[in-house]
Structure 1
């Protein structure tokens, strides 16, 4: 009889694709399976759709709804409710092909003498909107130097390309099958991680088990703007998560199995990364300085325009006063034709000056509006830049402290190894001295008169044919 497989589906607001996900379970050629849905307090129709499709399907299923736990804890909760020998993760927006579970279980069951902890297959990328992955993340397994049907985890960890992009050369949970007891040995998913939470688990499994692989494409990984990986990538959490995992690999007890040369390479990689971050921070500070200078320049221009507007305002007031005087003169001298013509000409000049001044004020007002908009935009950019500088400075301080602690720990380990080596050399020296003393005593005994007489006695007995015992 085939062993039970628990299909674990952690969900959160997944109504858009959950129907396709459930359909692919119903189409599996492998039996028996159970379905475990752990919902992280969705606010849409995810659970209603899933329950409607599973009811009457003939598959045993459990639906657990709980308060918001977050990505990692929701995965762990799903595993805690599973009863199967094997755990088949299926994320809410992914699909697996009909032969997927059967083929992955077959690798386990056909190699009972091998200590296999996880099997995985190739997966196909499905784009649902304009979100895209970089080409390097399409064929992940090409990142390994060598990949066989059964791989020793130690060999994978010692692969010279282990730390080269892409870091996750296995894939997502949807294209894996995990032995249930693995979680008892290596622990749960690390809820402190977000983007590389699956890679952390794959590495810990490699540290204790063998890894099975089939080159068949048996799963479909969907890419869209609403998925966690895209959100993390756009927000910068993915970049921070890589640093969290690197420093966990360097100093956490979960990674005591990691080869020393890998930790050395990882430490160099962290140091290079910190150098790049420092250079970027310096560039941001330089840009910040330039923005401050630009704000000062715009402020000065704004002040100059204010003065110019004030001057034009005075000119307008003077023109207005002259207009009033001209109107008064026109009323008082309306009876004189000659003076009337002069006043009319003066009025035309005054009106011309007035219109010209009004146009200048309108032009200057438009310029001031544009400058104020630029000033507000520049201030917003400066605020964002200052926020990014503060965030990266905090990250550098944290990374520097962690790297310093790692270097101190490695120094202590090297000192302990040196002391142990010196002790072993001292013990070897004492042993050589004792051996030389023993040889000296033997030579002294052989040269003594008693030994010579014993040798003559044995020779005499041999000539007589007697036993020398």
Structure 2
């Protein structure tokens, strides 16, 4: 399968990003893979974003198209972009994040027969664009990864490219999800297709106060929604059954860690005990449970001791 000249449609939902979207678009235009179109979907911005992206369209009329809609959220915006896309492959990028120049050049050749999705590693940056860390890929999470993907979302949306044929088969983003709509779509694709990865950082993900992933209640509710839709602890597929149980363990583990960080040790104990009932040695649950039982005073002493080391 020769993909070297296949069109990639890049969809960028835009909401109040007048100061960042130009840099985001520049990182797409700088791709060494040249067969691209960029679809910018203005989601009812109240700042100058629409004016900025229309100006970009005027500068690159053969590469950039602008869709303007009333504010309906990024899920609807991405779906509008998908409907307008002409490419064999569809890529996604948020309007405050950036791509490395070789991103698509590294990913597109990995779309061999049966592959529906390719993702990659992430470089974390702050509001000023300074690197704060890295989120590498687990090289084992490729191939038929649907069961493993039940436990946690392994893919940052801006790193993902999907086969248009796969979207035609499984559908677009589900607007019923208030969060984790990316994860839901990756699961639907990976249930029918294989996934591949690029294990180097190919997207710069900007961390700031507005990141939805920082809203613990929202993300936990979204995970429950994912579990209700995709998990099956009694599946005849042993891997699906196994990872469905681990998904439940991971839910209570993350709740426990959250309560632990808030020094709500009673709630943390309840959560970690639920993890142990499902998977006794999941992550560092036994250690977390013991620490929670020690209470506030001992844990504050331990934290002070760690800082001095």
SS at match of 1:141: coil
Alignment correspondent of 1:119: 118
Counterpart in the other structure of 1:65: 68
Q: CA deviation at 1:140?
A: 4.8
How is 1:404-419 mapped onto 2 (pairs within 5 angstroms)?
none
Query: Alpha-carbon deviations, 1:226-256, whole Å to 9, x = none?
Result: 34434x34xx3122222222222237xxxx9
**CA distance, structure 1, for counterparts of residue 34 and residue 103 of structure 2:** 12
| 8 Å contact from structure 1 (residues 117, 178) kept in 2 | yes
Q: 160, 169, 180: which one pairs with 2:154? A: 169
In the other structure, the counterpart of 1:207 is: 191
Listed one character per residue, the Cα deviations across residues 336-383 of structure 1 (whole Å, up to 9, x for unaligned) are xxxxxxxxxxxxxxxxxxxxxxxxxxxxxxxxxxxxxxxxxxxxxxxx
Task: Give the aligned partner of residue 157 of structure 1.
Answer: 146
Change (3 A) 1:140 1:198: farther
Among 28, 31, 34, the alignment partner of 1:28 is 31
**Higher strand proportion:** 2
Pairing partner for 1:52 from 45, 51, 55: 55
Equivalents in 2 of 1:141, 1:265: separation in Å?
20
The CA distance in 1 between the partners of 2:86 and 2:68, in whole Å, is 18
Distance 1:250 1:215, change over 3 A: closer
SS of equivalent to 1:152: coil
Instruction: Tell me the CA shift for residue 53 of structure 1.
Output: 2.5
Q: How does 1:85-104 map to 2 (within 5 A)?
A: 85-104=88-107
Q: Alpha carbons of 1:265 and 1:173: their partners in 2 closer, same or farther (altered >3 Å)?
A: closer
Going from structure 1 to structure 2, the CA distance change for 1:225 and 1:264 (only over 3 Å counts) comes to: closer
Between the two structures, name the one with larger relative contact order (CA 8 Å, sep ≥ 6): 2
TM-score under structure 2 length normalisation: 0.72
CA RMSD of aligned residues (A): 3.4
Name the structure 2 match of 1:303.
Answer: none
Query: In 1, Cα distance between the equivalents of 2:183 and 2:166?
Result: 15
Aligned counterpart in structure 2 of residue 187 of structure 1, from 171, 191, 215: 171
Q: In the TM superposition, what whole-angstrom CA distance separates every residue of 1:103-140 from its partner, at most 9, and x where no partner exists?
A: 111222xx3xx2010111212111116xx99x8xx425
How far has the Cα of 1:268 moved from its partner?
A: 6.1
Structure 2 residue aligned with 1:250: 231
| 5+ residue gaps, structure 2 | 267-309
Equivalent residue pairs, number: 255
> Corresponding residue for 1:425?
none
SS in 1 for 2:209: coil
- 1:16 is displaced (CA, Å) by 2.4
Residue 139 in structure 1 maps to residue 135 in structure 2: yes
Aligned-partner Cα distance in 2 for 1:269–1:88: 29
Match of 2:220 among 239, 246, 254: 239
Q: TM-score, normalised by structure 1?
A: 0.49
Residues 162 and 229 of structure 1: is their aligned pair in 2 closer, same or farther, counting only changes over 3 Å? Answer: closer
TM-fit CA distance, 1:35: 1.2
Q: Deviations over 1:22-66 (max 9, x none)?
A: 111221122221111111111111121122123233533221111
1:258 to 1:187, Cα distance in 2 relative to 1, 3 A: farther
| Alignment equivalent of 1:259, drawn from 209, 228, 240 | 240
Q: Identify the residue that residue 127 of structure 2 maps to in structure 1.
A: 128
| Equivalent residue number for residue 225 of structure 1 | 209
Which structure has the larger Rg?
Answer: 1
CA distance in 1, matches of 2:81, 2:224: 27
What is the CA–CA distance in structure 1 between the aligned matches of 2:135 and 2:38, rounded to whole Å?
29
Question: Which runs of 5 or more residues in structure 1 are unaligned?
Answer: 287-469
